[in-house]
Structure 1
């Protein structure tokens, strides 16, 4: 789940832009065990404010302490999570791959 806020942008092209404020995204296996979760909560209510990921039991890593670890990442987008699911975890996309890649390109511009 990504949370956004709208920010006014100066310039003739766009007057508003969506800015990510927090996210909690996860991918689960068929048995609903978490494989990977991406977290970022930069407010002071969380002891860890940097973007990070968790490898859950569904990842089948086999090292118990790694399931509790906060593995540092850069900030990610929901498109990054969806493309991970499609490209690396074998999830069938609802749209064709070419459209998905175009969507990612547009969000990075």
Structure 2
């Protein structure tokens, strides 16, 4: 999903993944001997969450912190990967490395 997919009413933002048939916003799958990791680059995004949600508050804090450090990517249209997803990604990569060595 891209940031444009969340240009809907605030009440409908949480339903966007479901509309696309996604059970989870990030996940992995295997096909033809390859493992694919699908990430959610809008996890930390003020556009992807309702302004009254905890996710929005976390994304806003991240955006403010980036802006204060004058980061070039501190834009409301940008998103990011949160700590839980990053932990999951690291676990998936470690598992892939372990399986490759076996």
TM bucket (normalised to shorter chain) is under 0.3
User: Which structure is higher in helix share?
Assistant: 2
TM-score, normalized by length of structure 2? 0.22
TM-score, normalized by length of structure 1? 0.21
User: Which structure is higher in strand share?
Assistant: 1
